[in-house]
């Protein structure tokens, strides 16, 4: 890997890994360019894995599988715990690397590193608490014993928007369960994954237990791995479109799938909400990672009585944000990941404006270098505009006025997605009653941030299958085995 000289001081050179990581060996190479989204300039170049490399990674994961599975849970736990400690020790370098390659503001990058490391600590603890079951049949005449076994080799595919946390949210439970893994990070943000693999090596993860591959041929490489009967799990985080393709591919060899896909979160503000709290929550739910989050508030439904005050308050807050490169400590809103991302946001906003929406701030891409889109608030947005159906993945808050509870429930559920939703109300009974009728995997009530390693993260409808984190996250990497036992 080459690393742009200008940035060599930003992150600990010890974290600059050399390329593919297979069977505990580093294999340098080139072919995948990593750009600084704040300038479009080359940041680094990393290796481009071939299908043969992927097959070697499966071989390495297979060779390490029996040993890792047999490693006592306490020992697996301690390795994860030291990986957590190393990430914490190197938090500032990792955050800088994330800010550099992803573009998110340092404050968000620091938050991500803490969140990401926490998955290792959480699963270091869960590794020693894998549940089992003993019960008697209803007739009372037989015994049922249920054990949980590691599912086998897991392929982990992650997106660019949380380069550290989406990887640890999978590696943590997989390793805790006793599985070996092959991680394929997003091409835009591979540096963080390689840096974390370096730390994993230092933490004592045995060769072959974690393998990391970057590739310009994700489809071909993944299909080849899924066709290998030794691979028993696919855990994917990314768009619903790619998720559908992978589910179809995995069906060919009946591979178990966990899917963390796209979202279209409604953010509902009732008349009786605490306005300041709702605005604080809205800024977090919308602007964490400059809106590039699957849980990002995508549609603001605000009740008529509080609507105008909410629009004014949100506009003032969005206007006050400082835009700049993520690695500038003063930045509050960094660039988007690519020029294509800016184009998509521009299309959605332009279509909304043409349909009658009004921008109270922002509304056009910035023309300077880099992939910047300014914080934007849209009011009077038609409820059927394309911006209400598609993931914006950017710093744009479209606001829709509503009158009744039934109306907002219908609007909130009018989407193929069901990942996250938010409700602000001082009346908890109302919030819970409405919340029960919202089709979502996660609901924030008077909270703008719900991600927590100790909680089950995931969606319903086309937002995914399965849950990551929490007590059940480890079971995604295990198979129950039933023993019918008489004595």
The residues assigned a catalytic role are: 260, 294
Binding region for ligand NAP (CB under 6 A) out of 46-54, 142-150, 154-162, 271-279: 154-162
State which residue, 101 or 201, has the beta carbon closest to ligand NAP. 101
- Please check whether residue 255 is in contact with residue 282, taking contact to mean a CB–CB distance below 8 angstroms: no
Site size toward ligand NAP (CB under 6 A) is 28
Min dist CB 241 to ligand NAP, Å, is 7
Single residue of 159, 335, 453, 470 touching ligand NAP by CB under 6 A:
159
27 in contact with ligand NAP (CB under 6 A): no
State which residue, 93 or 468, has the beta carbon closest to ligand NAP. 468
Binding region for ligand NAP (CB under 6 A) out of 128-136, 140-148, 159-167, 471-479: 159-167
101 in contact with ligand NAP (CB under 6 A): no
Single residue of 242, 283, 321, 396 touching ligand NAP by CB under 6 A:
242
472 in contact with ligand NAP (CB under 6 A): no
Min dist CB 226 to ligand NAP, Å, is 9
State which residue, 222 or 415, has the beta carbon closest to ligand NAP. 222
Binding region for ligand NAP (CB under 6 A) out of 124-132, 239-247, 402-410, 470-478: 239-247
Single residue of 192, 222, 331, 361 touching ligand NAP by CB under 6 A:
222
Listed residue (358, 462, 467) closest to 418, CA to CA? 462
Site for ligand NAP in 399-428 (CB under 6 A): 419
262 in contact with ligand NAP (CB under 6 A): yes
HEC letters along the chain: CEECHHHCCCCCHHHCCCEEEECCEEEECCEEEEECCCCCCEEEEEECCCHHHHHHHHHHHHHHHHHHHHCCHHHHHHHHHHHHHHHHHCHHHHHHHHHHHHCCCHHHHHHHHHHHHHHHHHHHHHHHHCCCEEEECCCCCCEEEEEEEECCEEEEECCCCCCCHHHHHHHHHHHHHCCCEEEECCCCCHHHHHHHHHHHHHHCCCCCCEEECCCCCHHHHHHHHHHCCCEEEEEEECCHHHHHHHHHHHHHCCCEEEEECCCCEEEEECCCCCHHHHHHHHHHHHHHHHHCCCCCEEEEEEEHHHHHHHHHHHHHHHHCCCECCCCCCCCCECCCCCHHHHHHHHHHHHHHHHCCCEEEECCCCCCCCCCCCCCEEEECCCCCCHHHHCCCCCCEEEEEEECCHHHHHHHHHCCCCCCEEEEECCCHHHHHHHHHHCCCCEEEECCCCCCCCCCCECCCHHHEECCECCCCHHHHHEEEEEEEECC
State which residue, 242 or 377, has the beta carbon closest to ligand NAP. 242
* Residue window 375-404: x/- pattern of binding to ligand NAP, with contact defined by CB under 6 A: ----------------x-------------
Min dist CB 459 to ligand NAP, Å, is 6
Residue nearest to ligand NAP (CB): 238
Single residue of 237, 256, 332, 440 touching ligand NAP by CB under 6 A:
237
Site for ligand NAP in 278-317 (CB under 6 A): 294
187 in contact with ligand NAP (CB under 6 A): yes
464 in contact with ligand NAP (CB under 6 A): yes
Binding region for ligand NAP (CB under 6 A) out of 55-63, 137-145, 158-166, 354-362: 158-166
Structure tokens at 243: 């998720």
The footprint of ligand NAP (CB under 6 A) covers: 157-162, 166, 184, 186-187, 218-219, 222, 237-239, 242, 245-246, 260-263, 294, 391, 419, 459, 464
């Amino acid at each position: 890997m080459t690393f742009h000289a200008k940035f060599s001081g930003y992150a600990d050179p010890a974290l600059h890994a050399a390329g593919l990581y297979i069977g505990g060996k580093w294999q340098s190479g080139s072919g995948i360019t990593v750009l600084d989204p704040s300038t479009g300039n080359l940041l680094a170049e990393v290796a481009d894995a071939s299908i043969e490399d992927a097959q070697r990674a499966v071989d390495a994961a297979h060779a390490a599988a029996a040993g890792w599975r047999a490693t006592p849970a306490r020992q697996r736990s301690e390795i994860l715990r030291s990986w957590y400690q190393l990430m914490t020790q190197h938090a500032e370098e990792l955050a800088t690397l994330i800010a550099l390659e992803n573009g998110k503001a340092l404050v968000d990058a620091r938050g991500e590193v803490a969140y990401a490391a926490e998955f290792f600590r959480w699963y270091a603890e869960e590794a020693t608490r894998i549940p089992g079951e003993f019960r008697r049949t209803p007739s009372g005449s037989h015994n049922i014993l249920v054990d949980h076994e590691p599912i086998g080799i897991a392929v982990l595919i992650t997106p660019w928007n949380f380069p550290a946390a989406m990887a640890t949210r999978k590696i943590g439970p997989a390793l805790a369960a006793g599985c070996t893994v092959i991680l394929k990070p997003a091409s835009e943000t591979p540096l963080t994954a390689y840096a974390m693999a370096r730390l994993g090596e230092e933490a004592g993860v045995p060769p072959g237990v974690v393998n990391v591959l970057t590739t310009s041929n994700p489809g071909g490489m993944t299909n080849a791995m899924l066709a290998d009967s030794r691979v028993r799990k696919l855990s994917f985080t990314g768009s619903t479109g790619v998720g559908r393709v992978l589910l179809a591919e995995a069906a060919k060899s009946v591979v178990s799938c966990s899917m963390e896909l796209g979202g279209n979160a409604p953010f509902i503000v009732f008349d009786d909400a605490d306005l300041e709290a709702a605005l604080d929550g809205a800024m977090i739910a919308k602007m964490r990672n400059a809106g590039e989050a699957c849980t990002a508030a995508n549609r603001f439904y605000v009740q008529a009585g509080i609507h105008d005050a909410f629009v004014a308050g949100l506009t003032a807050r969005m206007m006050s944000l400082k835009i700049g490169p993520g690695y500038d400590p003063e930045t509050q809103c960094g660039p988007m990941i690519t020029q294509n991302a800016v184009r998509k946001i521009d299309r959605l906003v332009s279509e909304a404006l043409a349909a009658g929406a009004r921008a109270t701030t922002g509304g056009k891409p910035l023309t300077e270098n880099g992939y910047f889109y300014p914080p934007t608030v849209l009011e009077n947005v038609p409820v059927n505009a394309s911006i209400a159906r598609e993931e914006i993945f950017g710093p744009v808050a479209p606001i829709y006025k509503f009158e009744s509870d039934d109306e907002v429930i219908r609007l909130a559920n009018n989407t193929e997605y069901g990942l996250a939703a938010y409700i602000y109300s001082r009346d908890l009974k109302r919030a819970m009653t409405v919340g029960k009728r919202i089709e979502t995997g996660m609901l924030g009530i008077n909270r703008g941030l719900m991600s927590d390693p100790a909680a089950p993260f995931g969606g319903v409808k086309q937002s995914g299958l399965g849950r990551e984190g929490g007590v059940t996250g480890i079971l995604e990497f295990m198979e129950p085995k039933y023993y019918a036992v008489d004595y």
